Amino acid sequence: MTPHPCRSVLFVPASNPRAVAKAKGLNCDVVILDLEDAVAPDAKEAARDAACAAVQAGGFRAMVGVRINSHDSDWGEADTRALAEVEPRLIVLPKVERATQIKAVSRAMGGHTSLWAMIETPRALFNLEEIAQCEAPIDALMPGVNDLAVALGAKLGPDREPIKSWLAMIVAAARVSNNLAIDGVYNSIDNLDGLATECAQGAAFGFDGKSLIHPSQIDTANAAFAPDAAAVAHAREIVEAFSSPDAEALGVVRIDDRMVERLHLEQAKRLLASHDALVEAQSRE
């Protein structure tokens, strides 16, 4: 079975019943019911109960996950225990700095739930390899750009220049472990042109999708991270060219006027897997 597409990953406050109800019909690829940043301290327990109820009730068009509070917070362990009872398909772990944090949640969930790790601190940046290759394991890395910028003392402009090197490292760490890489949020809800520019930047870095904070951002992310028809056709040409018996021992083949290496074959296979996942998901709607 092909993996689920993750072009658009929408965070929804679990403490907002109207937002959760609306999210059920949205055309994003993933809905994350948020128990962390979007929820005030005095609403944490109610939000946890609401997230568990929503996971059990189902009815979402998208894949549904939950972002818990960090394991060393006042609410992290209680979040994990409660969610172990309802077994969500996905849990997002905030402020991951060491593999031990991932292992603790994985054990509590019985190893049956997909885990995504958010990279939000300088310590996490220097422990990327440990986090990405944790034997728990994880399935995606996500930069928390706002927290990361604050922790670094960086001032982010439209091009995200101060953290470009770290974004590239996060993608590289994800690829080493064959994980997804999901880009961070774009804060200006009404600036869809700015969002499109940042999505194009993220796609150029190699991210598989974008974290979102508002439903109005979904279509832009879906368009930016979906393989276009020309790219899909070219990927099929590459796979077919290397599938020829004559190409079995070759490191390079010629397609039209271009020389294509085997490293492009792996890239083509990844693009086609993403395309097939999207087609399969759309066929189930």
Task: Tell whether 109 and 161 lie within a shared domain.
Answer: yes
pTM for the model stands at 0.86
* CATH code of the domain covering residue 194: 3.20.20.60
Task: Tell whether 117 and 191 lie within a shared domain.
Answer: yes
Asked if residue 2 belongs to a domain, the reply is no
Residues spanned by the domain of 56: 8-225
pLDDT at position 165, please? 97
Q: Which residues are annotated as a binding site?
A: 67, 120, 147
pLDDT at position 285, please? 59
pLDDT at position 178, please? 87
CA angle at residue 181 from 179 to 182, to 5 degrees?
140
Task: Tell whether 130 and 262 lie within a shared domain.
Answer: no
Task: Tell whether 217 and 238 lie within a shared domain.
Answer: no
Asked if residue 3 belongs to a domain, the reply is no
Q: Which residues are annotated as a binding site for Mg(2+)?
A: 120, 147
Q: Which residues are annotated as a binding site for substrate?
A: 67, 120
pLDDT at position 283, please? 64
Task: Tell whether 137 and 250 lie within a shared domain.
Answer: no
Q: How many helices (H) and strands (E) does the chain have?
A: 12, 10
Task: Tell whether 245 and 162 lie within a shared domain.
Answer: no
| Residue of 152, 134, 131 whose CA lies nearest to 142 | 131
Each residue's pLDDT expressed in tens, for the chain with a length of 285 residues:
346 789 999 999 999 999 999 999 999 999 999 999 999 999 999 999 999 999 999 999 999 999 999 988 999 999 999 999 999 999 999 999 999 999 999 999 988 899 999 999 999 999 999 999 998 889 999 999 999 999 999 999 999 999 999 999 999 999 998 899 999 999 999 999 999 999 999 999 999 999 999 999 999 999 999 877 777 777 787 887 788 777 677 777 777 777 777 777 877 787 787 777 777 766 665
Q: Which residues contact 36 (CB under 8 A, 6 or more apart)?
A: 67, 68, 69, 70, 94
Task: Tell whether 107 and 180 lie within a shared domain.
Answer: yes
Task: Tell whether 64 and 30 lie within a shared domain.
Answer: yes
Number of domains in the chain: 2
Task: Tell whether 180 and 77 lie within a shared domain.
Answer: yes
Asked if residue 1 belongs to a domain, the reply is no
pLDDT at position 9, please? 98
Task: Tell whether 215 and 257 lie within a shared domain.
Answer: no
Asked if residue 35 belongs to a domain, the reply is yes
Residue 185 and residue 212 in contact, taking contact as beta carbons nearer than 8 Å = yes
Task: Tell whether 200 and 271 lie within a shared domain.
Answer: no
Task: Tell whether 240 and 120 lie within a shared domain.
Answer: no
